[in-house]
Amino acid sequence: MRHRVHGRKLNRSSAHRKSLRQNLVADLICYEQILTTEAKARTIRPTAEKMITLAKRGLEKSDTNPAAAVHARRLAAARLPKTRTFTDEEGVTEEVDVVKKLFEEIAPRYQARPGGYTRMVKVGKRPGDNADMAVLMLVDEE
């Protein structure tokens, strides 16, 4: 029985799980969709939603209390990697500041949405090891 057992171990140590979670959430913020295994997608989905909620609350409080907005940015910076290298279709490589993109592009998009910022679409089995694959993506504004 798995009563009160929270989370998935993913056959990794705790430090490896933490690093994996941070990197996948940063990639989701940077690319706005990622292809990964279903177990990893289920694991990082709550963390990604909490980061977007943190950014939304930081933006809401920025008008009345600037210190709270700075605090939200610092919390996000502590929980995410600083930059991601992003290569577009033409092959141009650029550094993307993950926290800046979260607060300036993604959080304002979901300001009126009460939750459910991500969508997980199952895409079948991976040919190499038959693992269940899924695409985790940010929901479009509707």
The tens place of each residue's pLDDT in the chain, 142 residues long, gives 989 888 889 999 999 999 999 999 999 999 999 999 999 999 999 999 999 999 999 999 998 999 999 999 999 999 999 999 988 889 999 999 999 999 999 999 999 999 999 999 999 999 999 999 999 999 987 5
**Could you tell me which of 132, 103, 106 has the C-alpha nearest to residue 120?**
132
With a CB cutoff of 8 Å and minimum separation 6, the contacts of 122 are: 38, 132, 133, 134
Strand partners, 85: 95
Question: Global pTM?
Answer: 0.91
